[in-house]
């Protein structure tokens, strides 16, 4: 895996899930070959109604941020550029489809694995699976769209 997570290159990003946000989830994503990996530890305050089960909305946020971060990193890779080089590349979520296969327990780290399925112009389709103790609990498909970063980062 790469030494530095994607998100550490993007200091301008203040996203609750993947950004430089002291109150956020602060996920970290890395390449391992052609697959991007994120290992994240949920806490008790991330639980759903049942005790020791991870909230589905939190799961969707982690998937969203990991997949879109992977799409951005892939755009830099395609262009042969460092992740902090200018001009800035940015993508946003256009679609997120999630299938919850099993409850995802709290008390152990989850592992996300995302892969690029297809790229067409500004669009990048990804698959993302969530594992808890090597058991797949969630699968998702994400469509990320490359946008003009000046429209997203005003200051």
Which pLDDT band, with edges at 50, 70 and 90, does 1 fall under?
very low
pLDDT tens figures, 52-98: 999 999 999 999 999 999 999 999 999 999 999 999 999 999 999 99
CATH fold, domain 6-152, is Thiol Ester Dehydrase; Chain A (3.10.129)
Taking the C-alpha atoms of residue 72 and residue 154, their distance in angstroms, rounded to an integer, is 19
Reported pTM: 0.95
Q: First and final CA of the chain: distance in angstroms?
A: 32
Mean of the per-residue pLDDT values of the chain: 95
Antiparallel, parallel or unpaired: β 110-120 and 35-40? antiparallel
Asked if residues 72 and 153 have their Cβ atoms less than 8 Å apart, the reply is no
Residues 6+ apart with CB under 8 A from 112: 29, 37, 38, 39, 40, 62, 63, 66, 128, 129, 130, 131
């Amino acid at each position: 895996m790469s030494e530095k997570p994607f998100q550490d290159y993007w200091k301008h990003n203040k996203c609750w899930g993947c950004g430089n946000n002291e109150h956020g989830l602060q996920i970290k994503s890395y390449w391992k070959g052609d697959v991007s990996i994120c290992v994240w530890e949920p806490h008790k305050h991330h639980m759903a109604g049942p005790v020791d089960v991870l909230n589905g909305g939190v799961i969707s946020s982690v998937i969203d941020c990991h997949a879109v971060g992977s799409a951005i990193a892939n755009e830099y890779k395609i262009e042969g550029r460092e992740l902090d080089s200018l001009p800035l590349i940015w993508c946003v979520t256009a679609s997120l489809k999630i299938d919850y296969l099993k409850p995802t327990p709290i008390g152990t780290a989850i592992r996300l694995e995302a892969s690029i399925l297809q790229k067409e112009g500004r669009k990048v389709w990804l698959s993302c699976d969530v594992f808890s103790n090597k058991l797949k609990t969630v699968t998702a498909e994400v469509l990320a769209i490359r946008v003009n970063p000046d429209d997203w980062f005003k200051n």
